[in-house]
Amino acid sequence: MAVPKRKMSRSNTRHRRSQWKAQVPTLVKRQENGRTVYSRPHHANVVEDSAGTPMFLEYKGRKVADV
């Protein structure tokens, strides 16, 4: 791991930290069983039965993994 050779000043530390900003994740809106569902693009979705029990993961309409 890199170790700084000299102490970073308080001013420089705070200036560097102030540049970091959290971003809102992009969400995709879709209809599933009459409900509006928001999910992240390019991520597998959990498919649930009518009781709400997770059954498997789905990506682009295909089953990719069991839960």
CA 24-54-64 angle, 5° bins: 80
Q: What is the mean pLDDT of residues 28-41?
A: 86
Taking alpha carbons only, the member of 33, 28, 34 closest to residue 49 is 33
Domain ranges of the chain: 28-67
Q: What is the mean pLDDT of residues 30-37?
A: 84
Tokens of 61: 């309409």
Is-above-0.75 flag for pTM? no
pLDDT at 31: 87
CA distances from 10 to 33, 34, 46, 63 (A): 54, 54, 46, 52
pLDDT at 9: 96
